[in-house]
Structure 1
Amino acid sequence: MTAGKLLASALVLSALGAGAGMWYAQEYAFYDRLPPQGELAAVAADGAPVSLALRDFQGIDGSSSPIKWRACMTLDPAAAAALPVFDKPTPLIGPGWFSCYDAGRLTADLASGAATARLVQPEMRPDVDRIIAVYPDGRAFGWQQINDKTPERGVMD
């Protein structure tokens, strides 16, 4: 085997290793499953604190980003109606192994009116809101998304 073939093989193997490491980091390394929860703290349309009773909660989160939180749950849709409607929902894609949460389906259902987006808590972290999509049968799916409340910033900020 020539030096050129060895160098090319090392380069290809390094690229494959780096790709596999990147995939693992995006899908698994920075997510943690959340313990079951029986309630979700929220803020009603009038600004009053509200606690939504939950069933069948499944959730994930990660400390590496404020928008990694995803959740699947069942709740009383009448109780969720106290929360303000969120007008620009953008369900964020979760890792493939978190199978109860499907961002593509949520996006389609929110666009068709099959589900309603509600603002659970504004400013969970600076410039990040917690949103849930609620279906009439009580299924609900949550995520955190960056809000547009901060004015455009220049390059030097």
Structure 2
Amino acid sequence: MTGKILSIILIVSGLVAGIAMYYLQVYGFYDDVVEKPGQDVVLLPIGGETPEPIAYGNFQAIDADSSPIRYRACFTTPLKPAEVAQLYQLSDAREPRNAPNWFDCFDANTIGQALHDGQATAFISEKNIEFGVDRIVAITEDGRGYVWHELNNCGEKAYDGTIVGEECPKRPQTN
């Protein structure tokens, strides 16, 4: 009898822990980003170091404090990728990170396919928005836009244990 009770307790505890972990990963840590008109979608000009805002609308975004790469956003813009490419720095990012299924405006597979097929173009929004993380903006031919965070060369080195070289900015001290 005692063995059955302990087994039931272990099974129920495992189920509760699994459900809690799933909820926290998919829903719990994400927050809606409050829109800041004229500041949410910016691009890095060619030869410049200060990002500039572009025209956009229908902005929606999510973010989480638990990781610097959880930011995702969607927007619309009247701008075409070809005209934007003449003014702003291109990015070689072609595989956006997945968003939670409930954030349905951001489909990483569709965005990645559009980037590979030339139906979308990726741009650098901000470099080192956090240490080793760049913000990437992709704009499609039909005026939809997407934003996500991507590890840059310094971030990949820092997080895989490789020695970070001179070209990387100083990593912020944490307590």
- After TM superposition, the score normalised by the length of structure 1 is 0.88
Give yes or no for the alignment of 1:51 onto 2:53: yes
- Which residue identity does 1:34 align to in structure 2? V
Distance in structure 1 (CA, Å) of the matches to 2:33 and 2:123: 21
The answer as to 2:7 corresponding to 1:42 is no
The equivalent of 1:139 in structure 2 is 144
Q: Structure 2 CA distance, aligned partners of 1:47 and 1:106?
A: 27
For 1:123, the equivalent position in structure 2 comes to 128
Name the structure with the higher strand share.
Answer: 1
2:80 matches 1:77? yes
Structure 1, gaps ≥5 residues long: none
Measure the CA separation in 1 of the matches of 2:35 and 2:48: 26
CA contact (8 A) 1:38 1:57 kept: no
Q: CA deviation at 1:103?
A: 0.8
Which residue of the other structure, out of 91, 95, 119, is the alignment partner of 2:96?
A: 91
Given residue 117 of structure 1, which amino acid in structure 2 is its aligned partner? Answer: A
Flag structure 2 segments of 5+ consecutive residues without an equivalent: 164-175
Q: What TM-score, normalized by structure 2, do the two folds share?
A: 0.80
Q: Is the 8 A contact 1:37 1:57 kept in 2?
A: no
Alpha-carbon distance between aligned partners in 2 of 1:30 and 1:138, rounded to the nearest angstrom: 30
- Residue pair 1:52, 1:80 contacting (<8 A) in 2 also: no
Q: CA RMSD in A?
A: 1.9
Percent identity at matched positions? 34
Contact 1:66 1:128 in 2 (8 A): yes
Distance 2:134 2:34 in 1: 21
Query: By how many angstroms is 1:88 displaced?
Result: 3.0
Q: Quick one: distance in 2 between partners of 1:119 and 1:154?
A: 24
Asked whether 1:64 is paired with 2:72, we answer: no
Aligned to 2:166: none
How many positions carry a matched residue from both structures?
154
Q: Does 1:153 align with 2:156?
A: no
The letter for the 1-side match of 2:31 is D
| C-alpha displacement of 1:25 | 0.4
Matches within 5 A, 1:23-42: 23-39=22-38, 40-42=41-43
Q: Is the 8 A contact 1:37 1:54 kept in 2?
A: no
More moved, 82-91 vs 52-61:
82-91
